Amino acid sequence: MVTKVKANKIMAINGIATTIEQSKKLIELGINIDTADMTWEKVAKSLTEDFYWKLTVGLDSAIKGNLFSYRNGHVTPAWSLSALIELMPIKIRNSKQFTLYKGESGYSLTYFFHDEDYPIIKDDVTLLDTAFEMVCYLLENKLI
């Protein structure tokens, strides 16, 4: 699967994979880029045309083998919803339950605990954004 998107239209396909900005945040938080399952690649048809971003399934070999393109902003790893969910542990500390809830206004992911009054709850309009927020929280708090 290949999705082409003008640089300023990336948010329009949110839901397929993390945006470039979300991917950069995950990397800053220390996520292993080998866990990504998709790649954003900067492409230009000619030297005079604007570039566009191409989203492809799989982690581009430029990221795995030759970090030059990655470090120069030509490719960026991306995480699908499935990849984000796989990053989340079934249990953290003494959690008793991990749930996904779909409501009228969006989605919620929650870790419930045996001995704490306050669960960890992340919610957003899209499931991908909810999963992204939960993974960020877990990374920031050294829970994954």
Residues near 27 by beta carbon (within 8 Å), at least 6 away in sequence:
33, 77
pLDDT at residue 62 is higher than 60 = no
pLDDT at residue 63 is higher than 80 = no
Residue 6's CB: how many other CB atoms inside 10 A? 11
Residues near 77 by beta carbon (within 8 Å), at least 6 away in sequence:
23, 27, 33, 36, 38, 39, 40, 59, 60, 63, 70
Residue 135's DSSP bridge partners are none
Report the percentage of the chain scoring pLDDT > 70.
75
Q: Rounded CA gap, 5 and 8, in Å?
A: 8
Q: Rounded CA gap, 144 and 139, in Å?
A: 6
Q: How confident is the model at residue 64 (pLDDT cuts 50, 70, 90)?
A: low
Q: What is the pLDDT of residues 71-80, one digit of tens each?
A: 566 788 999 9
For the segment 89-106, the average pLDDT, to the nearest whole number, is 84
Q: Are 43 and 53 in contact (CB under 8 A)?
A: yes
pLDDT at residue 65 is higher than 60 = no
pLDDT at residue 99 is higher than 80 = yes
For the segment 59-84, the average pLDDT, to the nearest whole number, is 71
Q: Rounded CA gap, 70 and 21, in Å?
A: 14
For 65, the token pair is: 């083998």
- What pLDDT does residue 66 have? 47
- What pLDDT does residue 79 have? 95
Q: Rounded CA gap, 125 and 140, in Å?
A: 22
